Chain A
Amino acid sequence: QKEVEQDPGPLSVPEGAIVSLNCTYSNSAFQYFMWYRQYSRKGPELLMYTYSSGNKEDGRFTAQVDKSSKYISLFIRDSQPSDSATYLCAAIKAAGNKLTFGGGTRVLVKP
């Protein structure tokens, strides 16, 4: 079983819609949870990270973590065509060094 699972998509939405992405994880030792955005042929770009359970908001992006259900979410409000990319969730243990990634979800925002 993979430690972090993510639906590969693709997820297609019209411009302006809310994009909802999620991951599940199995390792209870994970304490930090990240979302990366990756454009085609580029490296992953850190969008935001959260510690333990809770919400974090940054502009149009909101990350949520529910440790009781081992569920990670990312919401993108007012989606733009420039948000079209692959979104990767990742997790790391407290004082850990290695990120464990999900497989990524392809998102397409249509004008």
Chain B
Amino acid sequence: EAGVTQFPSHSVIEKGQTVTLRCDPISGHDNLYWYRRVMGKEIKFLLHFVKESKQDESGMPNNRFLAERTGGTYSTLKVQPAELEDSGVYFCASSGEATQETQYFGPGTRLLVL
């Protein structure tokens, strides 16, 4: 069974540009989460989808971040326009319908904003 996949693995952009990250969850997992780790800090929750619906976006830092999950399959996280403080590692995780405590993580996308 394939795990959570993320694309791209790395992205280097300039301040003010737009970047879109993609996450493909484990097949059949209704729950999809985005987390972020900025330099020197712990991994922090950004938002949670149940199928195509945003269940909780309390961790989104500001309105420059837009997450979508059309069709309830893969998800995208767009940062527009990117700022220096957006640099970090963005992780996606997924879990089954009734098992939110067992979240399986992808390899992450390393974003560097110059």
Chain A residues in contact with chain B, CB under 8 A?
Answer: 2, 4, 32, 34, 36, 41-46, 49, 51, 88, 92, 95-104
Contact = CB atoms under 8 A, between A and B. Distances in A.
Given A44-B43, A104-B42, A97 B100 contact: yes
B33 A49 contact: no
Given A42-B107, A43-B105, A43-B107, A97 B56 contact: yes
Interface of B: 4, 6, 31, 33, 35, 41-45, 48, 55-56, 58-59, 91, 93, 100-108
Nearest to A33: B101
B56, B58, B93, B100: most-surrounded residue (chain A CB, <10 A): B100
Given A44-B43, A46-B104, 14 more contacts: A36-B105, A41-B107, A42-B108, A43-B4, A43-B91, A88-B43, A92-B101, A97-B31, A98-B33, A98-B45, A99-B43, A99-B45, A100-B45, A101-B42
Contacts, number: 58
Nearest to B101: A32
B105 A98 contact: no
B103 A46 contact: yes
Contacts of B107: 41-43
A98 B48 contact: yes
12 contacts: A43-B107, A44-B105, A46-B103, A51-B101, A88-B43, A96-B100, A97-B56, A98-B59, A99-B33, A99-B93, A101-B44, A104-B42
Given A43-B107, A49-B101, A102 B33 contact: no
Contacts of B4: 43
A101 B101 contact: no
Contact of A102 (B42, B45, B105, B106): B42
B103 A99 contact: yes
A34, A43, A51, A92: most-surrounded residue (chain B CB, <10 A): A43
